[in-house]
Amino acid sequence: MAKRFAKLRQRFGIAAPKVSVRTHVPWYLRWLGIAVMLAFSAALALWMYDAGRRFAGFDRSEVEQELSTARSELARMRAELDSLRAIANAADSKVSIERTAQQKLAQQARGLEQDNARLREELAIFESMLSADTAGAAPLSVLRFTVEPDMLPGEYRYRVLLLASGPRRGKEFQGRLELVVNLTEGGRSAMIVVPGQGQSDSPAFRLGFKHFQRIDGTFRVDPKGKVASVQVRVYENGSAEPKVTRSVTLS
């Protein structure tokens, strides 16, 4: 009995354990408080981070302002570049137009020079016809013969001016023209006859005139070959020997 009494005194007496009473808080209020504390902590951390950057010399607003200024400057420079490109394209078009005009003028100048040379040749022909001694003048002569490289490699342009005078003046000459090209190719000398075999009746090499005839044409050789000289031969129909020849040497 004494032991039971002692236990009761320990439970309900002065030596009994203390009892605390707490108010019951719902779970959702707890989670809301935790969320508020986390948000506050995050905002405080962000503020401290931003303050630290400002303290270290980094200001986000200044950087954004400088970035905006840089973007505006880039846009301005792009607009200026587009303007300069437009001006350059216009200048290129103008230069192209001027170059085309210059080429046309050069072609016209060359045409005028050719016409001038032709008129001088015709004037020389008429002067020769008027001043020639009909008794001692040759019946047929090569008044002019030139050969020069043309635009394409291995291509040459020739010009021949034939004059009938003396006893033949006024009589029609019928014949053909032949070119003998002497060249060096691979260290060896070679000879080419133009027109080739079987092409002697080509209309480009036929002759038929009373007073004079101008022949203008081209011939081609191997671009690796070098033309040394060219001889023109004029044959009359029915004759195997040339009536007149003339040679020109190319430098």
Domains parsed from the chain with CATH numbers: 140-249 (2.60.40)
Please enumerate in sequence order all residues whose Cβ is within 8 A of that of 137, keeping only pairs 6 or more positions apart, or say none.
165, 166
Largest CA distance in the chain: 186
Contact status, residue 177 vs residue 205, Cβ threshold 8 Å: yes
The larger pLDDT score, comparing residue 251 to residue 218, is at 218
Mean pLDDT, residues 175-186: 91
pLDDT above 70 for 250: yes
pLDDT above 70 for 216: yes
Provide the token pair at 71.
Answer: 């973007």
Residue 102 to residue 99: CA distance in whole angstroms: 5
Q: What's the chain's average pLDDT?
A: 79
Q: What is the pLDDT of residues 190-205, one digit of tens each?
A: 999 988 776 667 788 8
Contact status, residue 50 vs residue 63, Cβ threshold 8 Å: no
Q: Which residue has the tokens 């009359």?
A: 236
Q: What is the pLDDT of residues 102-121, one digit of tens each?
A: 888 888 888 888 778 777 77
Provide the token pair at 218.
Answer: 């081209």
Instruction: Give the pLDDT of residue 10.
Output: 57
Mean pLDDT, residues 123-130: 66
In degrees and rounded to multiples of 5, residue 193 shows phi and psi of -105, 130
DSSP per-residue string spanning 50-64 = HHHHHHTT--HHHHH
Mean pLDDT, residues 19-40: 72
Q: What percent of the chain has pLDDT over 90?
A: 16
Find the radius of gyration of the CA atoms of the chain: 55
